[in-house]
């Protein structure tokens, strides 16, 4: 099958690799190069780099809504488009360019978590499972009829980055299965009344409020790893907590955010229970283990952490 591929970040790479191995990828559409790193050098998206290595033509439209892009897309002569974390809304005219339409690989069990950040929000909201859904795209945001889906359990302590890597591989497999069965699959309309949203994460989503229950705080910490990071404030400036676990604490009138001594070491009192950080990063410093940070910052039980 002649496939036109839309994708941008590393999450899209396993599906692109699978398509390169099993179908004819006639073109790749990805986001424009962006400034990145300390020097803000113009950097190509990972999907572009892989496409160039595979000698596949690349388009980088700033806005696919501009009508001038339709002819270059038609020139690929694709039977089907596959879209994985592309980063732009595709207008109907673009969706209809391939003869067999456009299929999206989405990192949730639709209709739950429609939007740009389904993996992070599944973790933040404490889900025990998630999955991959392939669906026939329409003009809505992740609203088209479902083709295939596959579930996977969320592992204890898993971060959004780790879960995303697993789902990327699962998505590639589900997409190849979808294409193999495309002539026999009966699309299933989504139950729109059951839909939930997963909008792009703002930096403030990572700001920790120690009045929340410990489990909710740990979910937020892992859901915001690697982006945007879960922040609190300590005596030396902002502190990013990358990994943590929820632990019980003894009853008592302890202000949330207070460092307290627990059975396993110093932890942070929450609205219910306590949070024991595992990996943290002081402002403008490298990632360190929590006990090492406490020694370096000279923090001890009774000290308090504040809002980011």
82-125 per-position pLDDT tens digit: 999 999 999 999 999 999 999 999 999 999 999 999 999 999 99
Q: What is the pLDDT of residues 254-289, one digit of tens each?
A: 999 999 998 778 999 999 999 999 999 999 899 999
Domain range for residue 207?
A: 203-297
Q: Is residue 13 part of a domain?
A: yes
- Can you tell me the distance from the alpha carbon of 160 to that of 15, in angstroms, rounded to the nearest whole number? 19
Residue that is last in its domain, among 150, 175, 194: 194
Please report the pLDDT score of residue 201 as a whole number: 96
Q: Are residues 137 and 264 in the same domain?
A: no
Q: Are residues 110 and 249 in the same domain?
A: no
Q: Are residues 59 and 154 in the same domain?
A: yes
Report the SS3 class of residue 161.
helix
Residue that is last in its domain, among 162, 194, 226: 194
CATH number for 279: 3.10.25.10
pLDDT interval class at 36 (50, 70, 90): confident
What does residue 200 show for φ and ψ, rounded to 5 degrees?
-55, 140
Q: What is the pLDDT of residues 183-203, one digit of tens each?
A: 999 999 999 999 999 999 999
Q: Is residue 151 part of a domain?
A: yes
162: left (phi over 0), alpha (psi -120 to 50) or beta: alpha
- Can you tell me the distance from the alpha carbon of 308 to that of 238, in angstroms, rounded to the nearest whole number? 6
- Model confidence at 178: pLDDT above 90: yes
Number of domains in the chain: 2
CATH number for 121: 3.40.50.170
């Amino acid at each position: 099958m002649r496939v036109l591929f839309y994708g941008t970040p590393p999450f899209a790479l396993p599906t692109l690799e699978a398509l390169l191995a099993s179908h004819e990828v006639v073109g790749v559409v990805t986001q424009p190069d962006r400034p990145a790193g300390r020097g803000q050098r113009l950097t190509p998206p990972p999907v572009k780099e892989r496409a160039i290595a595979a000698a596949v033509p690349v388009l980088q439209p700033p806005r696919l809504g501009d009508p001038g892009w339709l002819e270059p897309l038609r020139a690929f002569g694709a039977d089907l488009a596959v879209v994985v974390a592309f980063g732009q809304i595709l207008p109907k005219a673009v969706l209809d360019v391939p003869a067999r339409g456009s299929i999206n690989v989405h990192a949730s069990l639709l209709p739950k978590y429609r939007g740009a950040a389904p993996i992070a929000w599944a973790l933040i909201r404490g889900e025990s499972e998630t999955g991959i859904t392939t669906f026939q795209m329409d003009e809505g945001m992740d609203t088209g009829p479902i083709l295939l889906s596959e579930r996977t359990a969320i592992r204890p302590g898993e971060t959004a980055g780790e879960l995303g890597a697993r789902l990327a591989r699962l998505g590639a497999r589900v997409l190849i299965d979808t294409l193999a069965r495309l002539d026999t699959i009966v699309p299933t309309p989504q139950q729109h009344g059951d839909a939930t949203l997963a909008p792009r994460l703002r930096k403030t989503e990572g700001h920790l409020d120690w009045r929340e229950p410990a489990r909710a705080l740990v979910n937020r910490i892992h859901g915001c790893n690697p982006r945007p990071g879960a922040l609190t404030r300590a005596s030396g400036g902002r502190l990013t907590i990358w990994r943590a676990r929820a632990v019980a604490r003894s009853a008592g009138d302890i202000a949330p955010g207070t460092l307290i001594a627990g059975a396993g070491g110093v932890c942070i009192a929450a609205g219910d229970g306590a949070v024991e950080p595992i990996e943290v990063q002081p402002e403008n410093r490298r990632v360190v283990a929590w006990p090492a940070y406490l020694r370096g910052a000279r923090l001890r039980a009774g000290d308090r952490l504040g809002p980011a």
